[in-house]
Amino acid sequence: MSAEGLSGAARQVSSSLRAGFFGRFDPSKLVFAISALILLGLVGLPLFWLAVSALTDKTGAPSLANFERLFTDPTLLAPLRISLTVATCVSCISTLVAAPIAWIVARSDMPARQLIRALITASFVTPPFLGAIAWEVLAAPNSGLINVWYRALHDLPPFVHFIDIYSIEGLIFVDSCYALPFVFVLIANALDRIPADMEDAAAILGAPFWRVVATITLPLALPAILAGALIAFLRSLTLFGTPAILALPAGFHTITTKIWSLFQYPPNPGLAAAASLPLLVATVVLLKAQSWILGRRGYVVLGGRGAQTRRIELGALRWAAFALCLFVLCFPVFLPYFALLKAALTKTLAEPLLADNLTLQHIRFVFFEFSPTRLALRNTLLFAFVSATLGTSLALVVSYLANRKGVFGHSVLGFLATAPIAVPGIVLGVGMFIAYTRGPVVLYGTMWVMIIAYVTIEMPAAYQQLKSAFTGVAHELEEAGRVLGAGRLRTLKDITAPLLRTGVITAWCFIFIGVMRELSAAIMLFTAETKVLPVVIYDLNESGDLGAISVLGLMLLLVTLAITFVANRLPGLGVSAAGTK
């Protein structure tokens, strides 16, 4: 055989050996191990140091002194008691308001039902802390628009007020306004899935309308109602932004603002960690209770696609129901947005919205004179883009391995990806502050500690979105790629990911918008060089510059809406995406 022939044969043998080795080697096991370590580090490391800090004293020796002080110090017990009171009231009020509104929208023939549903859902876009600031503009005891109009209407002296938003009652009211959409969506979706067969049968047998609702509709919707009430309670208990804006000026703390205050001078991270752990435990218990309630099968709907929802005819009450829905929407949507626009565009907030009172000075100040704006805007967009990209990539790999059950221990990945939902933002911020201010790798003060926090907080939403998307992709397509010699990762890259384009873009948008709204963890981790827009807005609120706050808040809303609009216009979304599925 010639030299060229021998050389060619050697190359062929070498190529065959490499192909055989890489054909047998499945990199998915390595990717699984790396993904598990990343997820464990995202959640486990902060919680580990949180527990260590809570269970040791300043010298590092084991101690329960932090917990002893937590449950005996009146200044620490009062915030916990206030938080439980506020959360209970918010849960009751938001459920009592959301349940009838959800029934009207989902089950009645009220006009413009889709408009009302869209407006309630749109209130998700409003960050809770921005809603609280808007209600400051409306109901601050001295300068609030409602109180100014009230004094003018009744010719009253200054400092007389109709409503004081800086109170426990004010905090409950504002918190309820922005908990309502969460409860509404759960109940309305449950009502949408209830067919009319049983209600029609009861009506044919002579049952009056109220009895049909009480004995059929309400029991079927009860799990969603209870789950919505728990979500409202949990959301209020763990919220930082709204109480920080409304409770601190009134001179009282909730548990989240008290945890934040323990990091002010002189800082006491051990006590803050001890206060965070009960909040973490309460969150886990409530989420487990919600899962148990929604998973119960005491009532089962038997019906196919032919079982359609029947609209209850309201007759002359149709327009009264529509007016009721618009009235409810005034509190989370119409009045707050009007207040922000008026504060942003007027010289004097209390004066009427006339031509001589209009000004662009607040806009000029924010964009050309206020130096932190550009840095905060750049940081916010950069952190949101990087977090969304990294978080979506990680969620895509994890949801693929967990959904396709391709590796041993796939259920562990799903658990780790959803675990951050049980960690309140303020608790995660405390844990990350403690974890990343010590060696061997000190990340505090860098952009990476912010990005890690954002990815951790938003991971459950992205994972659940992509996990649902995987159910629409047939296994046979991936199996065909594997038969032709492609590995799991190449199958994911070349076959599955293009079919998941809609889910991937949606998950990316979820994380991006979540980062734009996040304040709880950011307030614990920012430095002068890593400030983001929510933190700048919070700082400006302490100085009372409502005009600049309103401009920044509206900009935050517009950027969020723009991202949503552009995402919905991308190829592969909308009707065409539904067709490809």
| pTM of the model as a whole | 0.84
The more confidently predicted of residues 398 and 139 is: 139
Q: What does the pLDDT read at residue 335? A: 94
Q: Is the pLDDT of residue 219 over 60?
A: yes
Sequence-separated (6 or more) residues with CB below 8 Å from residue 177: 131, 135, 331, 332
Give helix then strand counts, H and E, for the chain: 29, 0
Q: What does the pLDDT read at residue 290? A: 74
Q: What does the pLDDT read at residue 536? A: 94
Q: How many CB atoms lie within 10 A of CB 483?
A: 8
Max CA distance (Å), the chain? 112
Residue 334 CA, chain-centre distance (Å), reads: 22
Q: Is the pLDDT of residue 209 over 80?
A: no
- pLDDT category at 409 given cuts 50, 70, 90 is low
Report the C-alpha gap between 40 and 43 in whole angstroms. Answer: 6
Q: Is the pLDDT of residue 3 over 60?
A: no
Q: What does the pLDDT read at residue 260? A: 93
Q: What angle do CA 263, 236, 175 make, to 5 degrees?
A: 110
Q: Are 394 and 459 a contacting pair, CB within 8 Å?
A: yes
- pLDDT category at 203 given cuts 50, 70, 90 is low
Q: Is the pLDDT of residue 107 over 60?
A: yes
Between helices 145-154 and 128-139, what is the axis angle to 10°?
20
Give tens-digit pLDDT for 229-281: 999 999 999 999 999 999 999 999 999 999 999 988 788 889 999 999 988 88
Q: CATH homologous superfamily of domain 354-581?
A: MetI-like (1.10.3720.10)
Token digits for 465? 């979105």
Q: Are 477 and 494 a contacting pair, CB within 8 Å?
A: no
- pLDDT category at 495 given cuts 50, 70, 90 is confident
String of DSSP letters for 124-189: GGS-HHHHHHHHHHHH-TTT-HHHHHHHHHHTPPTT--S--SSSHHHHHHHHHHHHHHHHHHHHHH
Q: What is the mean pLDDT of residues 513-540?
A: 92
Backbone phi, psi, residue 346, to 5°: -120, 150
Q: What does the pLDDT read at residue 306? A: 44
- pLDDT category at 305 given cuts 50, 70, 90 is very low
Q: Are 253 and 82 a contacting pair, CB within 8 Å?
A: yes
Report the C-alpha gap between 242 and 331 in whole angstroms. Answer: 15
Report the C-alpha gap between 183 and 149 in whole angstroms. Answer: 32
Q: Where are the alpha helices (DSSP H) in 419-545?
A: 425-435, 447-470, 475-483, 488-491, 497-499, 501-517, 522-525, 533-543
> In this predicted structure, which of 94-98, 272-276, 403-407, 418-422 has the lowest mean pLDDT?
403-407
Report the C-alpha gap between 452 and 447 in whole angstroms. Answer: 9
Q: Is the pLDDT of residue 18 over 50?
A: no
The more confidently predicted of residues 284 and 14 is: 284
Token digits for 171? 């905090």
Q: Are 457 and 524 a contacting pair, CB within 8 Å?
A: no
Report the C-alpha gap between 251 and 267 in whole angstroms. Answer: 20
Backbone phi, psi, residue 56, to 5°: -130, 160
Q: What does the pLDDT read at residue 494? A: 73
**Which of 31-40, 205-214, 509-518 reaches the highest mean pLDDT?**
509-518
Residue type at 165 in one-letter notation:
I
Report the C-alpha gap between 364 and 436 in whole angstroms. Answer: 38
Q: What does the pLDDT read at residue 308? A: 56
